[in-house]
Structure 1
């Protein structure tokens, strides 16, 4: 049995009546030739109507080839909006940290959904995504979002992940892939004085997300910033300071105590196991953070 065929609608009384009414009203009559086919689920679908039979036969061949190659997709699947699929995608992301989840939520709400949320998946094209990426970097007075290169790449990455989640079930390819992206800007080295370090550490200790949620790392932030600022540890060395050999530094928020610190932190500590921080020793207000020493031997 053929999976696609051309049907002559003049065999239907309803069609003939529609043609008669159209002629009486001096309107263009409906097309005569209809392409019909069985989709992979066995349901009969319409492949469109055509005035000329050769055009209908061409469409019939296209559908038969797509069914044979396995590249067929129900046109209805591509009509689902980007916004609907983005919500499903984010809900399904149970494999990421809570802080990352909220970061994706903020990028969707601020940059992705306002532009793409109401569009069907099939209406998203690579050239439009490229224009959107360029627009994100423009100043606000020019209608842009004034984003830096890193934030632009993050916003594009979220859109690309949403669209990639829909391949190949709803769209054949990801239109966000292959879009020119801004190169990551080289980080400018900024050196803080003692007062700035103290303010940064205090602010990080009370850090909250855009949705007024306590940041996952807030309880460790102050001790970690002081450790990095005054002991000379690299980030990977500080990350190896977990109390149980974990990858995240463990700190007691009540005493700013860093457990399991590395050798360089011990060398920086004084005889009583305190790492000094803050202004010059002669200035009141100089503080210390306790560092537990390893047993001798």
Structure 2
């Protein structure tokens, strides 16, 4: 708390008259009545009025607002949005990849439009217009993205980050309400439907991989459902051959061409089972390696990067294996492949949730609903009564 000032006064003062009733030096100049109060931070604040009743009314309103914990600093709304961004970022406790996403939205969408705007000038109507304009695009834009506009998902993300920044202003008593409360964000874009492989396609793909570690990595992704960052961050010590489990406790993220280690999604470590045949494949990679060494690495011993592995290794191998739509395939499709194979093998939702590292089963059902629909179609046949 800031230091207390001596002789602070709270009340309404007559600026034109001294305490003994004689005219003051500023008699007849400016506004006569001044409301004085001490804000919640211990700072003395004043505001002048022409009429005493107005000054008293303002003081009463300020007092009521402080009692109700709704007080707002008079000059708080004058602060520019850009001045609030460092405080917002400093208060975040998120993974590095999430932080990068926030900074990207701030730099690309929020700062150009709102950086030099005072907080009090951020209105509901202007925010709605901004969200619409981002998606509409600008025919005169310098880049294709500027001309085409953002997807609804990207615009929604920018709006959500902006709302979080304005929440800081509300918490710090700079503005009374977050104008984003009355703004309906764009709908979440339709998620891309995964393109799973059959078991035969998965093995055909692995056989076309240019290097042994690429072949094993492909099988690992398709038979364990690990996210790319989790798979390439596996160390030799993560493989438990006795229980046939992989200890997933770290992941690699990518940003700006660099790779960094962090905790898995939702900060949850987990053990993921792998099929017996993968034990021999993994032995080839772990043999002779130190316990802390990565299972997969590039020729320089650095972590593999998905942005490089996808076009350089995966898509050419898909073409060679005769699998259609190679250019539309993603690494994440191998995770979808695992889910498909596991469901066909009889895995239930809870088992799949644990293996995939989802926070709850609802995410699993929502993400792989189409696969469960295929499984659901055979339910009638399973309920066929025995013949007598």
Q: TM-score if structure 1 supplies the norm length?
A: 0.60
Pairing of 1:120-199 with structure 2 (within 5 A): 120-141=118-139, 145=146, 146-169=149-172, 170-189=174-193
Q: What is the Cα deviation at residue 10 of structure 1? A: 1.9
In 1, Cα distance between the equivalents of 2:171 and 2:111? 22
Q: What is the Cα deviation at residue 188 of structure 1? A: 4.8
Structure 2 match to 1:32: 32
**Residues 177 and 37 of structure 1, relative CA distance in 2, 3 Å threshold:** same
Deviations 1:177-216 (A, max 9, x none): 341122123235475999xx99xx99xxxxxxxxxxxxxx
In 2, Cα distance between the equivalents of 1:238 and 1:7? 66
Q: What is the Cα deviation at residue 99 of structure 1? A: 2.5
Pairing of 1:13-32 with structure 2 (within 5 A): 13-16=24-27, 19=29, 30-32=30-32
In 1, Cα distance between the equivalents of 2:52 and 2:32? 8
Q: What is the Cα deviation at residue 116 of structure 1? A: 1.2
In 1, Cα distance between the equivalents of 2:179 and 2:152? 20
In 2, Cα distance between the equivalents of 1:238 and 1:31? 66
Pairing of 1:1-297 with structure 2 (within 5 A): 4-11=10-17, 13-16=24-27, 19=29, 30-50=30-50, 52-93=51-92, 95-141=93-139, 145=146, 146-169=149-172, 170-189=174-193, 226-227=218-219, 231=222, 234=225, 243=238, 244-246=246-248, 262-263=274-275, 266=278, 278=318, 279-280=320-321
Q: TM-score if structure 2 supplies the norm length?
A: 0.48
Structure 2 match to 1:255: none
Q: Is the 8 A contact 1:3 1:64 kept in 2?
A: no
Deviations 1:34-59 (A, max 9, x none): 22223345544212322x33323322
**Residues 83 and 248 of structure 1, relative CA distance in 2, 3 Å threshold:** same
**Residues 86 and 248 of structure 1, relative CA distance in 2, 3 Å threshold:** same
**Residues 223 and 155 of structure 1, relative CA distance in 2, 3 Å threshold:** farther
Structure of higher RCO (CA pairs closer than 8 Å, 6+ residues apart): 2
In 2, Cα distance between the equivalents of 1:249 and 1:45? 51
**Residues 98 and 160 of structure 1, relative CA distance in 2, 3 Å threshold:** same
Q: What is the Cα deviation at residue 157 of structure 1? A: 1.6
In 2, Cα distance between the equivalents of 1:134 and 1:225? 43
**Residues 87 and 246 of structure 1, relative CA distance in 2, 3 Å threshold:** same
In 2, Cα distance between the equivalents of 1:132 and 1:112? 10
Q: Which runs of 5+ in 2 are unaligned?
A: 1-6, 18-22, 239-245, 253-271, 286-313, 323-388
Count of matched residue pairs: 231
Q: What is the Cα deviation at residue 103 of structure 1? A: 2.0
CA RMSD of aligned residues (A): 4.4
